[in-house]
Amino acid sequence: MASSASLLLVLAAQAWGLSAAAGKVDITPDLARHNVYLAGFGARGRRPSGVHDPLYARLLVLKEGRRTVALASLDLLGFSHDDVEDLRRLAGFGAPGRYLFVAATHVHSGPDTMGLWGPLPGLSGVDKAWMGELKKNVAAALRALEARLSEASVAGWQGTLDPRGLCRDRRDPAVIDPDLAALRFRGRDGRAVATVVNWACHPEVLGKENRIITADFPGALCAKVERDTGGACLFFNGPIGGLLIPDAAEGSSPWQESERIGEAVAGAALRGLAKALPAARPGLSFRSLSVDVPVENSRYLLFLPALAASHRLFDIRGRPLPLWKLYGLAYQHVLRRLQWAERPWVKTEVALVDVGAGRLLGLPGEPFPELVLGGYGGKFSFGRPVLKPGNPDPPDLARAPQGPYLKNLAGRPVALFVGLANDELGYFVPEYDFKVRPNLTLTPRLPGDHYEETNSLGPSATKIVLNAARYLLSDKRSADRPHAQ
């Protein structure tokens, strides 16, 4: 990997007490030096055969008064909370008044960073040397940007984008998030510093047969914004569970479709931002909340050592579990199924960042869009039936959760709901429709749409994370919340 200094594009600007600087770092693995496997699709990784377009860490550092907030968007499937904490330490974001918000774009054609897609099921596909270089170079870039801050203005826009031809929902009920939100940072000279774009869809236009590294449509999206504005672009994915997937044209080249979808979303965001006015008093603040989530997924319990490649695990009393004990717990689970008090827990985080009219709510995984905006009555099905006629076991919508939903609680005119933020815990499935077979492997899957349950920590995760998000959005202050700032 080339030095971070040569890959750091620095863009800075100035106005109204807010300072900003933005840039990007190439994090593409060198296939001659790094032994990586592509993440996503199934229980084992794919060996990449080449690189189509670079993977980047796109960065934006903001400062107002004594507060400094950095935003990082990584072209990766996920980035664990432990890795985020490592990056914060390396970049100097552990002190009060400083916060680093990290989110993965969720590309399915990038290296395994979670330890779940190696050469065989249960074996990690993470190249530790590459991960170490990634963290070191991104941390160096963040420090360099912080030394180049200058004043900036911020403007925000939020609208709707018809998802037809761009994104569709594969699981009942059909709820597609049409929200497109964007923030624009400009310098005193009017030049672009950075654009932040938030939209929800799985970056998997290049499917499971692909063996070439690519940033998929987020790469094309950011490339267009950077060409058209001259500033950096950070893409933050939204609530993509459910399952929101690209609505690619059949028979077309997936590479062309990836570019088409990315550029269409980028163009819509830029047109919206053209109507946005800068905030008179930007303001910059953040709060985060640390939460503990139990591992209920039986398949994860079978492969606890692999899960530990990306997450430190704790017992019910909060004591760290050593690797030898994880092997023992997995063996015991095979023999007799672990009881609730024996199951491990993971620590994760829900976060809130406010800047100008914008509010970023960071959720540590892949929430279903209906958990964020509702839509069980068909408001967001966009011409598709809410329930597929041939579904052998459709969800009972009479039991669907009632509002207010997170979107109703946003409290800002420009609300960015960011999935894969500061962690990747898999899908957050609505509790009323969480269905699995009561066996060790959860297979075969139950009739209907129940793939996401097999890639979720369990139903408790949804409730715990949503409650934490509601708490942050309620704007409460509590001394007994150690990570609420």
For the chain, the domains span 4-280
**Rounded (10°) angle between helices 216-229 and 254-273:** 40
Residue 444: asked if its preceding bond is cis (omega within 30°), the reply is yes
Going by C-alpha positions, the residue among 409, 402, 408, 404 that lies closest to residue 431 is 402
Work out the burial of residue 260: count CB atoms within 10 Å of its CB; fewer than 13 is exposed, 13-18 middle, 19 or more buried.
buried
State residue 306's pLDDT score. 86
State residue 279's pLDDT score. 81
State residue 476's pLDDT score. 59
For 216, the 3-state DSSP assignment is helix
DSSP state of 406: G
The rounded distance, in Å, linking the Cα atoms of 82 and 62 is 23
User: What would the DSSP string read from start to end of 318-329?
Assistant: SPBPPHHHHHHH
Q: What is the mean pLDDT of each run of 10 residues along the chain (485 residues)?
A: 33 60 98 97 93 98 97 98 98 96 98 93 91 98 98 97 98 98 96 98 97 98 98 98 96 97 98 90 93 96 90 96 96 96 97 97 98 97 96 96 95 96 98 95 94 96 98 67 36
Backbone angles phi, psi at 91, to 5 degrees: -90, 0
State residue 464's pLDDT score. 98
State residue 213's pLDDT score. 98
- Contact call for residues 114 and 122 (beta carbons, < 8 A): no
Tokens for 423?
């962690």
State residue 1's pLDDT score. 37
State residue 277's pLDDT score. 84
The kind and range of the H/E element at 255 are: helix 254-273
The rounded distance, in Å, linking the Cα atoms of 290 and 306 is 23
Q: How many CB atoms lie within 10 A of CB 435?
A: 17
Positive or negative CA dihedral for 125, 127, 130, 132?
positive
Taking every pair of Cα atoms in the chain, the longest distance, rounded to a whole number of angstroms, is: 67
State residue 3's pLDDT score. 35
Identity of the residue numbered 416: L
